[in-house]
Structure 1
């Protein structure tokens, strides 16, 4: 009952009143059905994010965004909180690798994509300056597309002299700038978007993705295999190498075992980011904390998927 009441209060006042009336006149089961229907509605999410700035993505908790334009040689720093986006710094004339997307080790290109900062280090080699942020390249999208290489950092310049304007693929700032960046951000709550021709999020897309996520979740928790697989793209690949055909066969076995059993699935801390890519395809990276609870099995942890827009629908292209 406490969970039901909590769901009421997190909705808007109009929706809350409707839900209360549903509970008064039809009981808890009808209330749950009404909530499920509501969160699967694009219109609901459009109203929910009406005043949010989602240009660089949708974030449910305070976040920092680093937006690197390789062609313009700029790195913008944004703080995102409660739907508001504020630019806190702009670094110009940064050093980046060659134009084009990184494909393999040694091509001297800075990758195009969306990454997290996974560590902050003081380099043992003074060539990299006083500080470096280690990025998540290659990420899941890169690995599925067979890109290799490693060691893509945001770092400073040599402590013992100038290095010119050459980069082996990293993002290079002046030493005072890398130290300032460290003061501005919490690297553990930062997303790095690297592009040449910027791809920005559309509010309609974000709302549709949120609605699609909850439609997908509903089919999943109810073991509706036909509906569930309709959310997957023809070019789908799973992180373990499964293609769509193999994945469907696997899920059919899982769903048969779950049929008639109670399954609960919850998504928290959802992040939706326009995935920068060389072809500017309408792809979004979606990450969240997932709680999956069923008889005999539970999962509590990080979930990562990529969706692509096909016509008027979003389909799951990659999943981990």
Structure 2
């Protein structure tokens, strides 16, 4: 009878280039204490799915059916689970139809969804490590969301006691044509650093699920590179669908309705960074600290040179490729030389600094955001500012500067 399910197991058998070990067990991680997320955790649903497939792999078909039935009590609209249950029932009835016999697009989607879910639960844990994009969060930033499109996964981190704490991670759906959005309607998910705005309050079609949070795509760097499009959201699924295949959206990041509801405390501020990356890498907090030290020094030297009104030293911090909302480097230099010609005494302070490595950039790049207080004899100003710093000619230089 187990042989009848051999092709069903094509969903799960070849993970990481080899067969799953017969004694493999699902990941036991759970939401961290203090996360303040709702008690419902869809990772439990996912663990039950993985458990059922592992039981099939071990020939424990009756146990697998019981596990799937338990899963479907909590998630009756989980289509992949229904597919597994149906094949188990057909096997018990000794019918010849097998999941692997149907090579249509829908089956391929189910196989890919099962594959990425299993990979998550059988992967080596990232204990003591953080995503390499999270260099430093400001005290005001309570949470950060990091999406790995390659793994179809969304990770939530909390900034607590000046340290990053992994709270939970969820399966996600991305664009039908993959990542690296460039044009309107290309059905791709953008890669970059974005801010999730507050939940859309007007009633949306059921297609968008329980909630939708717009991302600020295109950001200044996207616009610089000529990227087009709009309406990239983080949103849920229709009521009759627990989850969608890994590549099924028009470019949005889509997660299950229980997950989008659980994320409400994370996203409700309307200022949560959402970093979307391909093939996310992991480093220790100590490595993140080491990587940002040189940039810390460059940012402080930029502040000092500006405060001292040493115009040429100040301008030396800007890359030849610099751009702003008002023009290129030459226009920036012209304006700054005119303003600083009077040598007015100024005081400049920076606070609430955050640093996020820009994902998948051709050269090392970091988005730096901060609160800037400027005081002179004629002007007192406070603003939130952002800069893109790029590694250029063996040093950090500013490629973009503007309001955050």
Length-normalised TM-score, structure 2: 0.61
Judge which range, 113-122 or 181-190, deviates more.
181-190
Report the structure, 1 or 2, having the larger strand content.
1
1:287 pairs with 2:365: no
Distance across 2 between alignment mates of 1:117 and 1:185: 7
1:267 pairs with 2:350: yes
Deviation at 1:314, TM superposition (A): 0.4
Distance across 2 between alignment mates of 1:110 and 1:145: 16
Identify which of structures 1 and 2 has the higher relative contact order when contacts are C-alpha pairs closer than 8 Å and 6+ apart. 1
Corresponding residue to 2:306 among 208, 214, 220:
220
Distance change in 2, residues 1:208/1:88 (3 Å): same
Corresponding residue to 1:83 among 151, 158, 162:
162
Residue number in structure 1 paired with 2:209: 129
Bigger CA radius of gyration: 2
> How many aligned positions are there?
265
Distance across 2 between alignment mates of 1:88 and 1:172: 19
Deviation at 1:238, TM superposition (A): 1.2
Deviation at 1:297, TM superposition (A): 2.3
Structure 1 residues without counterparts, runs of 5 or longer: 1-50
Distance across 2 between alignment mates of 1:54 and 1:198: 7
Residue number in structure 2 paired with 1:300: 382
Deviation at 1:162, TM superposition (A): 7.1
Judge which range, 129-138 or 167-176, deviates more.
129-138
1:151 alignment partner, SS class: coil
Deviations 1:258-309 (A, max 9, x none): x1x2201111111111111353x21000011111111222321111100011
Residue number in structure 2 paired with 1:158: 238
Corresponding residue to 2:137 among 55, 59, 76:
59
Length-normalised TM-score, structure 1: 0.77
Distance across 2 between alignment mates of 1:226 and 1:312: 19
Residue number in structure 1 paired with 2:102: none
Quote the RMSD (CA, aligned, Å): 2.3
1:234 pairs with 2:314: no
Distance change in 2, residues 1:217/1:184 (3 Å): closer
Report if aligned partners of 2:242, 2:257 keep a CA contact under 8 Å in 1.
Answer: no
Corresponding residue to 1:192 among 274, 277, 284:
274
Structure 2 residues without counterparts, runs of 5 or longer: 1-127
Distance across 2 between alignment mates of 1:186 and 1:87: 19
Distance change in 2, residues 1:129/1:100 (3 Å): closer
Distance change in 2, residues 1:208/1:191 (3 Å): same
Distance change in 2, residues 1:147/1:180 (3 Å): same
Report if aligned partners of 1:156, 1:175 keep a CA contact under 8 Å in 2.
Answer: yes
Residue number in structure 2 paired with 1:173: 255
Distance across 1 between alignment mates of 2:242 and 2:162: 41
